Amino acid sequence: MPLRTETTFEYYFNNASLYYCKAHDCFRVTNDHEDSVLLHGVEQDEVNDFIANYFEYALEDEDLKDHFRRALRLKELDKRTKELEAQREDADE
């Protein structure tokens, strides 16, 4: 097995903003919405897992984590339902 080096970069922000950028498919951390660090390869599902874990471990709110997970499942079901309805409408035409 080849050896791999591990590297850690530390950045300090005075006024940090964190968000997932769907257009660029990355996680972005900005300082005063100016300088930013882009983290590519962090997908939306991984951000959702981070949020759920934040609710559970940092806020110690299991109910909030469960509510968040249910909301994500309902959103996915709604999306699939709309796709099926659109397919049926196309088939009827």
- Cα separation, 30 vs 10, in Å, equals 14
Sign of CA dihedral 76, 71, 23, 29: negative
pLDDT value of position 1: 64
Higher-pLDDT residue of 54 and 1 is 54
Does the reported pTM lie above 0.75? no
Range list of β-strands (E), 10-79: 16-21, 26-31, 35-40
Q: What's the one-letter identity of residue 7?
A: T
| 18-50 pLDDT, tens digit each | 988 888 888 899 998 888 898 888 888 888 898
Average pLDDT, the chain: 88
